[in-house]
Amino acid sequence: MTVLLFTVILLAGAYCAGLLGSLTGLGGGVVVIPLLTLCFNVDFHYAIGAALVASIATSSGSASAYVKEGITNIRLGMFLEIATTIGAVCGAFIALWMPTNTIAVIFGLVLMFTAIMQQRRTADHTGVVGSELARKLKLYGTYPTKEGVQSYQLTHVCGGFSIMVSAGILSGLLGIGSGVLKVLAMDGAMKVPFKVSTTTSNFMIGVTAVASAVVYIQRGYIEPGIAFPIMIGVLCGALTGTHLLKRLNVKVLRQIFAVAILLVALNMIYDGFMGKF
Amino acid sequence: MMAETKKQKYDMQQMIGTALRVGVTTACLIAFVSGIYYLICHGAEPVPDYTVFKKEPQSYTTLGGILTGVFHFQAKNWIQLGVLVLMLTPIVRILLSLIDFAKERDWLYVIITAIVFLVILSNSIGGA
């Protein structure tokens, strides 16, 4: 296969990955790893590097709109980024001694968890009484809704912070944004409104991914020949996905994709146990 | 006073939003143009063996190496420059927040933002 053909096929694959990631809400990085390792037989290390690049691109691209609309809680994001960046640093170091096959199995498990969690749609919390610590940290915020600007309080700062450390570790280990875990920390533990949780999570992914990307680029995980079709393809796919989401109801599509993702996850776990990576 | 802070908050959101968009667009444009250049130079060659991981040469993994290649018009280095710009985007976002929190005299958040920045900085210096 020539470089040209490989690049074109990879570009098309990355476009689909970006589209899938955006429609399912999984994020750009998560779909890139199975795409590269299972379909293209690329080494896991390069896949992690490419996934990081994809995560930064999609997160920064979509965060830009949400920040302007004022949905993102910038203070909350900033504060929790302490947890995710420190976690990401740890993750990148754990990756040094952890066998690739173990990383693949962990990735499969995370993917499964993600696909299942995506199916859950929580009702927004009402009448949350914020904690003293959250007030001192000025984490309370407002966000625009159809009924006008809504203010909210939040609680369980320490619980949310520790989940964020784990989200950071996974992010550093696997090169993914681990958005689902971030949403779980904010929406589940801290009782932040769902929409604020997802957009703030998105906002944080870029910084978290960069914290480990600066290590991985020096370790040589980021191969230019793979990075550029992935970066462009995933970003274009994600943009198409965002447009589609505004126009059509993707509920059924989402469920079909969730099943597909589960199968991919099982495949990763199986291959990991068989020592194929 | 209240209106003042609200406006400031709005300005900050617009600025951060724009910075993110400009960063990603620039990075993608660089990667796209140098990607085409890379394909023109190397498109007909067989695909390198990506199935086995071998550490990339220094020219793609260090700032100095990447920039040297950029000055010598090496296509792969130009792509890597695009990756660097992409990586700088969230970092610039952090710095913008830092400046803005300082303007608001919100010292708690100046410290918080500085910690995040220092974690990334120390990682890029001592991380390999």
Q: What is the mean pLDDT of residues B42-53?
A: 89
B20 contacts A60? CB cut-off 8 A = yes
Residues of B in contact with A60 (CB under 8 A): 20, 23-24, 86, 89-90, 93
Backbone angles phi, psi at A143, to 5 degrees: -150, 150
Cα distances (Å, whole numbers) of residue B121 to A147, A203, A225, B36, B81:
42, 19, 26, 32, 18
The answer to whether B47 contacts A1, with C-beta atoms less than 8 Å apart, is yes
Which among B30, B87, B104, B110 is the top mutation candidate for probing chain A, defined by the most A β-carbons within 10 Å of its own β-carbon? Answer: B87
pLDDT at residue B3, as a whole number: 54
CA dihedral B41, B47, B53, B57 (to 10 degrees): -20
Above 60 in pLDDT, residue A254?
A: yes
pLDDT of residue A226: 94
What are the residues whose beta carbons fall under 8 Å from the beta carbon of B60, sequence distance 6 or more? A217, A220, A222, A223, A224, B66, B69, B76, B77, B80
What pLDDT, in 10s, does the model give residues A166-202? 999 999 999 888 888 998 899 889 999 988 998 999 8
The pLDDT value recorded for residue A108 is 94
Do B39 and A231 count as a contact with CB atoms less than 8 A apart?
no
Mind listing the pLDDT tens digit for each residue in A98-128? 999 999 999 999 999 888 887 776 677 777 8
Count, residues in chain A:
277
In this prediction, residue B1 carries a pLDDT of: 42
CB contact under 8 A, B51 and A41: yes
- Residue-wise pLDDT tens digits, B67-126: 888 999 899 999 999 999 999 999 999 999 999 999 989 999 999 999 999 999 998 887
For the cut 80, the answer to whether the pLDDT of residue A221 exceeds it is yes
d(CA A170, CA A186): 17
Chain A residues close to B76, C-beta within 8 Å: 224-225
Structure tokens at A93: 């170091």
Of residues A254 and B23, the one with the higher pLDDT is B23
Q: Is the pLDDT of residue A237 over 50?
A: yes
Lowest-pLDDT choice from A76-85, A150-159, B3-12: B3-12
Domain ranges of chain B: 2-43+73-126
How far apart are alpha carbons A14 and B91 in whole angstroms? 25
What is the mean pLDDT of the segment spanning A56-60?
91
Q: How far off is chain A from B125, nearest CA to CA, in Å? A: 9
Any A CB within 8 A of B45 CB: yes
Q: Say whether residue B67 is in contact with chain A using an 8 A CB cutoff.
A: no
pLDDT at A120: 73
Query: Does the pLDDT of residue B55 top 90, yes or no?
Result: no
Q: Is B96 in CB contact (< 8 Å) with chain A?
A: no
pLDDT at position A126 is: 78
Q: State ipTM.
A: 0.91
| CA nearest neighbour of B80 among B71, B90, B70 | B70
Q: Determine which of B37, B83, B107, B112 to mutate to test the interface with A (most A C-beta atoms within 10 Å).
A: B83
Please count the helices (runs of H) and the strands (runs of E) in chain A: 11, 2
Torsion angle, alpha carbons of A229, A234, A236, A241, to 10: 160
The full set of domain ranges for chain A reads: 3-273
Average pLDDT, chain B: 88
DSSP string, A100-158: HHHHHHHHHHHHHHHHHHHT--PPPP-SPPPPHHHHHTT--EEEEETTEEEEE----HH
How many residue contacts between A and B have a Cβ separation below 8 Å? 198
Residue A127 pLDDT: 77
The average pLDDT across A9-35 equals: 87
- Predicted confidence at residue A121, as pLDDT, reads 66
